[in-house]
Chain A
Amino acid sequence: MEKSLIETRIKWASILIGAGLLIQMGTLFRIHPLAFVAFVVVGCPLIGAGVILYLWSLVPAKK
């Protein structure tokens, strides 16, 4: 049961990180302040949330 919870969290973490990475990649195709804003305000928080969710999945659930 716990394993499937971990895998669900890992899936969500990868979705968040993947979305953040795609946004970051997109911002690097244009030199514009809006690209910088998108990188910092959207891309970085998505990746941060994904990494935290992944690390949270490593914490054992309460028994």
Chain B
Amino acid sequence: MAATIVILFIAVTAAIVSLVGFRAHWTRSREGKILAFIALCVLPIAAVWGGFSEQMERAESTQFCLSCHVMTDFGRSLYVDDPSYLPARHFQNNRVPRDRACYTCHTDYAMFGTVRAKMRGLRHIQVQYFGTIPKPEEIKLYQPYNNRECLHCHLGARRFEEGSGHHKTPDLLQSIKSGQRSCLSSGCHDIVHDVGSLKDAAFWKESK
């Protein structure tokens, strides 16, 4: 809906800009000057602003992230029929919004986290079109995955706070919360996308 409005706005702006261009002599009058200022300055800037925010919104969608070939296996890993695959378990049980699955887990829940995520996205685009694309199984995070991203949703949840797995030792829960013990790389939830193992995996077929 928002995209349709932005497209319509840009189309109307383009029509007015063309009109002013073809009838440049109108700008000799005061009304024409006002029209030219609106058509050639105010409306184009508003169109860029609307288009840019729409593009930014789209850049958070799962479809956007998976549209590069190298990401195909990461998308398939969301459909693995095995609950030990952490992203699959989150995706299939709607623990993350399916249309924003990648962005939900791969953004920083901190000040300027969105900006940092967008900057990383620009780097991905640069590598995709101007760099050497690595094999899917060679793709790694820039930094170790921060527990903060998990705790953004799980902190305070009964299953997380009272789950027996998080109380195997008296200080385990606290060490998870403080980030001393990693959720993903301490041997607990260590099966993540694992795209190298997908050839032997069974996949969940979503019922329509």
Chain A: residues with CB nearer than 8 A to chain B?
3, 6-8, 10-11, 13-15, 17-18, 20-22, 24-25, 27-29, 31-37, 39-40, 43-44, 47, 50-51, 54-55
B residues within 8 A CB of A28? 3, 6-7, 10, 51, 54-55
Asked whether B117 is an interface residue with its Cβ less than 8 Å from the other chain, the reply is no
Contact status B14-A18, CB under 8 Å: yes
The SS class assigned to the A binding surface is helix
A58–B10 CA distance with the chains assembled, in angstroms = 24
Instruction: Please name all residues of chain A whose beta carbon is closer than 8 Å to the beta carbon of B48 when the two chains form the complex.
Output: 24, 43-44, 47
Q: Say yes or no: is B18 at the interface (Cβ < 8 Å to chain A).
A: yes
Nearest B residue (CB) for A48 = B48
Check if B147 is an interface residue, CB within 8 A of chain A. Answer: no
Q: Does B129 contact A (CB under 8 A)?
A: yes
Which of the 9-residue segments B56-64, B87-95, B155-163, B190-198 touches chain A?
B56-64
Q: Which residues of B contact A43 (CB under 8 A)?
A: 48, 51
**Selected A-B contacts with CB under 8 Å, 18 pairs:** A3-B28, A10-B27, A11-B21, A11-B24, A17-B40, A18-B21, A21-B44, A28-B3, A28-B54, A29-B7, A31-B58, A31-B67, A33-B67, A33-B124, A39-B55, A43-B48, A54-B40, A55-B41
Is B139 at the interface (CB under 8 A from chain A)? Answer: no
Min distance, Cβ A33 to any Cβ of chain B, angstroms: 5
| A51/B55 in contact, CB under 8 A | no
How many A-B contacts at CB < 8 Å in the complex? 102
Chain B nearest CB, measured from A26 CB (Å): 10
A47 nearest CB across to chain B (Å)? 5
Q: Taking beta carbons and an 8 Å cutoff, which residues of B are in contact with A?
A: 3, 6-7, 10-11, 13-14, 17-18, 20-22, 24-25, 27-28, 36, 39-41, 44-45, 47-48, 51-52, 54-55, 58-59, 61, 63-64, 67-68, 124-125, 128-129
CA of A29 to CA of B51, assembled, Å: 11
Q: Given that A18-B21, A24-B51 are contacting pairs, would A51 and B40 also be in contact in the complex, using a CB cutoff of 8 Å?
A: yes
CA of A22 to CA of B11 in the docked complex: distance in angstroms? 8
